[in-house]
């Protein structure tokens, strides 16, 4: 235990500079003035020439929006997620999966920029440094209006698929997405068309290339070319998501470039998962020689004031070489309540959940925020999920062993929103992985996250 505790102390020291830096950012992040007082993005009129970078508005918001030219703007964006994770395991679980141990470190450390490109488009460019390497996240240009004829996006961005996948981790009700979100294609290089109609429905279609590494550049076993589409409808959407009823369906057709589909391929730490999709601590890498994969997603969500609930089902059909189809699937149901009365906004242009505006933040920017100080917002959450990656037609492993996993999980959480940009998340997860060769066992994960974004 002594070497293990020493490692934890070294990890704490490694994130200490980041925590100190956040203390200097708190005064600027205390305001939620992401938009101008009239509710629109702050910007200069298009006929106003700007010969050099200048402030696009005189507000005290952080980060500032800079004018780069006629209607072209620049604004910093980023986030830092610092995780503290402890675990306990049954003897059978430790014998099957090894000791998970504890972890302290950065889950995300992103920095980037976003802005408008005149009247015709916008851009986002963001990288993640949490792994010690430069990993592109959202890096794309969007042309057109979502509410008009649609926005064409080209670059590296999330494929339009699941509700929890499309919801930013800055506003997600849990520290991680559900384990079955492994079947979400997540971010890829490609192009797509995104369109919304009267704040009621959305349609998104695109063609993508998913590589084998974190940056999606490499081709090889596991890389795919995909065609993905998502359709959503919100027949009830009042008060920016205060009353909501949402439905959606997504399909993705994947063609493996090297004739192999790989589930859970990305390099990962058993606890500090650095990828887009949640890999979990117990899901193995599953390799299936195949010519085709089809993914499907069904989703629904409901909100009534501070109460909310959502559920999704994922399915994957893989066409193995010379064998019957392999079917993996899973789903989750989640619910929550803001005991202080807030609600999570609904982004009708994308058909996903958005930010939470805290009624009485702990930190208030006196110059631009007229809200009273208080104890912030408090949210209670619960999620029950299950994935079934066991199919008798799955090819055996290198030693002839059965390959697959079944994992039911229960997660309970408490979220404290200090203001619109800083929050603490506390999660407890109970997992019962059932491995086909060794049977079921029990694992417990206790986790806390400091989430700061701008």
Is domain 2-453 annotated with CATH 2.40.160.10? yes
Q: Tokens 């059932």 correspond to what residue?
A: 434
> Read out DSSP for 402-444?
----EEEEEEEEEEEESSSSEEEEEEEEEE--EETTTEE--EE
- Give the pLDDT band of residue 319 (cuts 50, 70, 90): very high
Above 60 in pLDDT, residue 338? yes
Domain map of the chain by residue range? 2-453
Query: What is the number of H-type helices and E-type strands within the chain?
Result: 3, 23
Choose among 427, 438, 447, 328: nearest CA to 82: 447
pLDDT value at 274 more than 90: no
Place 147 in a pLDDT band, splitting at 50, 70 and 90: confident
Cβ contacts of 147 within 8 Å, gap of 6 or more:
196, 197, 349
| pLDDT recorded at residue 48 | 44
Helix/strand/coil (H, E, C) string of 110-160? EEEEEEEECCCEEEEEEEECCCCCCEEEEEEEEECCCCCCCEEEEEEEECC
- pLDDT tens, position by position, 102-137: 989 999 999 999 999 988 899 999 999 998 889 999
pLDDT in tens, 192-227: 999 998 889 999 999 999 988 888 888 888 899 999
Distance CA 448, CA 95 (A): 26
Nearest alpha-carbon partner for 414 in 400, 394, 428: 428
How many alpha carbons lie under 13 Å from residue 243 in its C-beta half-sphere? Answer: 4
Q: Do the beta carbons of residue 377 and residue 392 sit within 8 Å?
A: no
Quick one: which H or E segment has residue 20? helix 2-29
Task: Give the pLDDT confidence score for residue 167 in this predicted structure.
Answer: 96
- What is the pLDDT, as a whole number, of residue 69? 76
Q: Which pLDDT score, from 0 to 100, does residue 6 have?
A: 46
**What is the rounded average pLDDT of the residues 260-277?**
71
pLDDT above 80 for 176: yes
How far, in whole angstroms, is CA 264 from its chain's centroid?
A: 16
**What's the CA gap between 23 and 281, in Å, rounded?**
32
Query: Would you state the pLDDT for residue 110?
Result: 96
DSSP β-ladder status, 201-210 and 260-263: unpaired
């Amino acid at each position: 235990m002594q070497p293990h505790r020493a490692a934890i102390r070294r990890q704490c020291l490694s994130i200490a500079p980041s925590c100190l830096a956040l203390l200097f950012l708190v005064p600027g992040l205390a305001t939620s003035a992401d938009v101008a007082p009239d509710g629109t993005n702050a910007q200069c009129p298009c006929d106003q020439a700007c010969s050099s970078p200048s402030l696009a508005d005189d507000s005290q918001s952080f980060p500032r929006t800079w004018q780069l030219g006629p209607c072209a703007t620049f604004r910093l964006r980023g986030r830092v997620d610092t995780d503290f994770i402890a675990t306990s395991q049954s003897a059978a679980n430790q014998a099957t999966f090894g000791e998970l141990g504890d972890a302290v470190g950065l889950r995300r450390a992103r920095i980037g920029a976003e802005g408008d490109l005149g009247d015709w488009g916008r851009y986002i460019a963001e990288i993640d440094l949490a792994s010690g390497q430069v990993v592109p996240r959202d890096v794309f240009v969007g042309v057109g209006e979502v509410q008009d004829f649609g926005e064409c996006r080209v670059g590296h961005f999330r494929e339009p698929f699941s509700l929890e996948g499309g919801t930013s981790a800055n506003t997600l009700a849990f520290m991680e997405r559900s384990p079955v979100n492994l079947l979400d294609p997540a971010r890829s290089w490609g192009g797509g068309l995104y369109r919304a109609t009267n704040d009621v429905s959305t349609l998104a279609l695109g063609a993508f290339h998913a590589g084998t590494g974190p940056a999606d550049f490499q081709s090889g076993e596991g890389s795919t070319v995909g065609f993905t589409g998502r359709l959503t409808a919100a027949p009830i959407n009042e008060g920016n998501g205060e009353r909501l009823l949402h439905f959606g369906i997504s399909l993705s057709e994947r063609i493996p470039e090297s004739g192999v589909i790989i589930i859970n391929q990305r390099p990962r730490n058993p606890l500090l998962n650095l990828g887009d999709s949640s890999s979990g601590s117990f899901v193995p890498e599953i390799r299936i020689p195949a010519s085709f994969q089809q993914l499907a997603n069904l989703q629904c969500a409901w909100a009534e004031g501070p109460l909310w609930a959502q559920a999704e089902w994922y399915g994957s059909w893989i066409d193995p070489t010379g064998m019957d189809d392999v079917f993996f699937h899973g789903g989750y149901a989640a619910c929550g309540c803001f005991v202080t009365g807030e609600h999570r906004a609904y982004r009708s242009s994308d058909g996903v959940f958005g930010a939470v505006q805290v009624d009485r933040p702990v930190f208030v920017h006196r110059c631009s925020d007229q809200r009273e100080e208080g104890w912030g917002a408090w949210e209670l959450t619960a999620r029950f999920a299950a994935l079934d990656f066991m199919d008798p037609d799955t090819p055996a492993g290198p030693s002839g062993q059965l390959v697959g996993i079944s994992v039911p999980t229960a997660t309970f959480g408490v979220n404290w929103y200090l203001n619109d940009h800083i929050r603490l998340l506390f999660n407890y997860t109970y997992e019962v992985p059932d491995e086909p060769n060794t049977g079921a066992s029990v694992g417990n994960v206790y986790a806390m996250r400091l989430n700061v974004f701008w």
